[in-house]
Structure 1
Amino acid sequence: MEFRQFFNFLVILKESIKLLAKNIKLTLFITTLTLLSSSIFFVVFDFSSLSLARDMLAKESLFPISSSSSAEFTTHLSRIQHSFPCLLAVYVVFVLSYLIITLTSTTAIIIVSSDSYNNKNSSLTELSSRIAKSWMRPLVTGFYTTIFVTGYVFLAISLAAPFLASSSMDMLGAAVLFWAGAYGLYLYLCSVWILSLVVSVVDEDGSCGVEALGRSAVVMKGQRVSGFFVNVLCSVVSLGVYLGSRMTRGERVCGLVLVNGSCLVKILTFVAYTVLYCRGKGSRGQEIELNSSDVEYAKLGLITPLDSNVV
């Protein structure tokens, strides 16, 4: 069974590479635009945040030579308090901008991959229209998946607390084994969470949130090990990107390598999960429809029928 799942993973990887080359123009356009916009925002953020941080440090360095009761001290303190909201605003703008870039590129690459898998061709205008119509659904689903990921991380930290509290080598070794097992379990569980984003984009019923998570769990039946292998591969590639970035000279160059490498890994991940969705939807389409009918039937069952004797 495990060998079969590993063989399915190799098939998924092969089909993913074919999809990347199938609609090469749109794929290159999305990839180039994603890398370019991410690099520009990173450089702007790095420059602006460093300038504000250096300005705050320069003002703070004047404190030791100023008396805490002097007017000069109060002036320096008010300047720092005025600079801090600007620095915070830069961070907020960067996070929101990166979120928009990530959401748009993720939606675009999923749509293009799904169309390529089904032998459909979409123009740039059609792609833009579909992104505008469906971007809200992966945003809602991403909110739910973030809650699951955050809850899992806090659970793992709370369970690992007894290991981290001890200084003995045996307990530290047990902590390493625990974290390795917890990360492996995370790679196994998050296959459903990642696939739910694909479901939110390409599902014909427009499901999102909890409904998308439920549909992705159905699609992933029999494919979770394949999804686990995909996550392991992407984690290894991400580790290679990180180690490669540490070999570069300069913090800004290192950051650019990390940002662009992460974007490429994300694109590969969602292309592979789009293949997983299309393969699972093809084999379990009827089961998904039955589950949807059960949900609607359950909702109807909550309605109490009217008594025929009541006038």
Structure 2
Amino acid sequence: MESNSLSSFVGILRESLLIFLKNKRLMVSIALLILLLQSFLVLCNFFSIMPLTQDFLMKQTELLFASPGSSQYTDIVASMTSYFRKFAGLEWFFILALFMASVFSSAITILASAVTYAEANLSFRDLLSRVFKSCKRPITTWFYISLFNLGYIFLELSFILPFSVNFSSPLFRPTTFAYVLLIPVSAFQMYLSVFWKMSLVISVLEEKVVLKHLGRLRRY
């Protein structure tokens, strides 16, 4: 039984690698698009916050030589606060942009793999059109996955921290109990993440309600 499961797993991995060789042109185009999109956002983030960071450091240096309580000191603090708000706003914007780019990259990769596996003829332009039309489902699914992940991390910390403190002894530090408990909890989180990622695949390929994608995995 175990040998059959292992051979099936190896067969799935081998077949998934062959998918990328069936339509090299499409896969290379998608890889370049994802690479260019992610690189563009990272470079835009870097060059947009660089002037703010330099101005903030300059004001921080000026603050060391200003006397507290003076008008110059107040103006410098106000300028640093303004720079920090602009920095936080830009970072939130690029975090959202990178999130959308990540969802788009996952959706187009999943759809391209499915099209290649089914040996269907679909151009790169038609593939982009289908991804944009169905982008609402993977975004919503990814949002639920993020909520479930944050909820699990919160439950993980609320369970490990009190348990490690209350059951500590002179022979074992609280951090030792935390590390011991963290191993099975993290392993179970990895197990759940597989099903959560499968729900993202289903949300891209099928037009169902998002919560049904997550509930449908119970049969597996």
| Same fold (TM > 0.5) | yes
Residue in 2 that maps onto 1:272: none
Residue in 1 that maps onto 2:91: 91
- Structure with higher RCO (Cα < 8 A, 6+ apart): 1
Letter in 2 for 1:34: I
Letter in 2 for 1:84: F
Letter in 2 for 1:58: M
Q: What is the rounded CA distance, in whole Å, between the counterparts of 1:47 and 1:217 in structure 2?
A: 46
SS at match of 2:190: helix
Kindly state the Cα deviation for residue 148 of structure 1 after the two structures are TM-superposed. Answer: 0.8
CA offsets per residue over residues 97-118 of structure 1, 9 Å max, x none? Answer: 2122112111111111111222
CA offsets per residue over residues 155-198 of structure 1, 9 Å max, x none? Answer: 11111103654586454333222212111111111221111111
Q: What is the rounded CA distance, in whole Å, between the counterparts of 2:192 and 2:83 in structure 1?
A: 43
**CA contact 1:138–1:208 (8 Å) conserved in 2:** no
Q: What is the rounded CA distance, in whole Å, between the counterparts of 1:9 and 1:177 in structure 2?
A: 30
How do residues 1-311 of structure 1 correspond to structure 2 at under 5 angstroms?
1-162=1-162, 165=165, 169=172, 171-203=174-206, 206-218=207-219, 221=220
Query: Which runs of 5 or more residues in structure 2 are unaligned?
Result: none
Q: What is the rounded CA distance, in whole Å, between the counterparts of 1:178 and 1:194 in structure 2?
A: 25
Q: What is the rounded CA distance, in whole Å, between the counterparts of 1:180 and 1:51 in structure 2?
A: 43
Distance change >3 Å, CA 78–CA 170, structure 1 → 2: closer
Q: What is the rounded CA distance, in whole Å, between the counterparts of 1:9 and 1:51 in structure 2?
A: 51
Q: What is the rounded CA distance, in whole Å, between the counterparts of 2:26 and 2:59 in structure 1?
A: 49
CA offsets per residue over residues 7-51 of structure 1, 9 Å max, x none? Answer: 222111111101111121111111111112212322332333243
Q: What is the rounded CA distance, in whole Å, between the counterparts of 1:169 and 1:35 in structure 2?
A: 47
SS at match of 1:61: helix
Letter in 2 for 1:193: W
Q: What is the rounded CA distance, in whole Å, between the counterparts of 2:121 and 2:186 in structure 1?
A: 38
CA offsets per residue over residues 205-237 of structure 1, 9 Å max, x none? Answer: x1142111122333xx1xxxxxxxxxxxxxxxx
How large is the RMSD of aligned CA atoms in angstroms? Answer: 2.0
**CA contact 2:19–2:113 (8 Å) conserved in 1:** yes
SS at match of 1:154: helix
Kindly state the Cα deviation for residue 150 of structure 1 after the two structures are TM-superposed. Answer: 0.7
Greater displacement, 25-34 / 57-66? 57-66
Q: What is the rounded CA distance, in whole Å, between the counterparts of 1:50 and 1:2 in structure 2?
A: 55
Aligned residues: 217
**CA contact 2:49–2:87 (8 Å) conserved in 1:** yes
Q: What is the rounded CA distance, in whole Å, between the counterparts of 1:120 and 1:217 in structure 2?
A: 30
Letter in 1 for 2:187: G
**CA contact 1:163–1:172 (8 Å) conserved in 2:** no
SS at match of 1:60: helix
**CA contact 1:59–1:80 (8 Å) conserved in 2:** yes
Q: What is the rounded CA distance, in whole Å, between the counterparts of 1:157 and 1:3 in structure 2?
A: 37
SS at match of 1:69: coil
**CA contact 1:104–1:135 (8 Å) conserved in 2:** yes
Residue in 2 that maps onto 1:263: none
Q: What is the rounded CA distance, in whole Å, between the counterparts of 2:13 and 2:180 in structure 1?
A: 29
